[in-house]
């Protein structure tokens, strides 16, 4: 049991780095997804039919 606790303590910095990286990746993905969705929504409202068609196609 003591060995397991020691292993967790030794691994903690790597686990925390992984958690921070996961959060950064998630926040970055949400940001770019929101940005892409906003641009596509604006494209759907465009008066130019090729732009609307591209947004709808995507």
Count the residues in the chain.
58
What pLDDT score was predicted for residue 24?
99
Give the model's pLDDT for residue 31: 98
Tokens representing 2? 């003591």
Q: Which residues contact 52 (CB under 8 A, 6 or more apart)?
A: 43, 44, 45, 46
Please check whether residue 31 is in contact with residue 38, taking contact to mean a CB–CB distance below 8 angstroms. no
- Tally of domains in the chain: 1
Structure-token pair, residue 45? 């409202």
3-57 per-position pLDDT tens digit: 888 998 999 999 999 999 999 999 999 999 999 999 999 999 999 999 999 999 8
Is 0.85 topped by the overall pTM? no
Q: Which domain holds residue 40?
A: 2-57
Q: Do the beta carbons of residue 34 and residue 42 sit within 8 Å?
A: no
pLDDT at 36: 97
Residue 44's φ and ψ, nearest 5 degrees, are -65, -25
């Amino acid at each position: 049991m003591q060995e397991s606790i020691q292993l967790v303590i030794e691994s903690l910095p790597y686990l925390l780095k992984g958690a921070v990286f996961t959060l950064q990746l998630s926040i970055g993905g949400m940001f770019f997804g929101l940005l892409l969705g906003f641009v596509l929504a604006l494209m759907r409202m465009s008066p130019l039919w090729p732009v609307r068609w591209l947004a709808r196609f995507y």
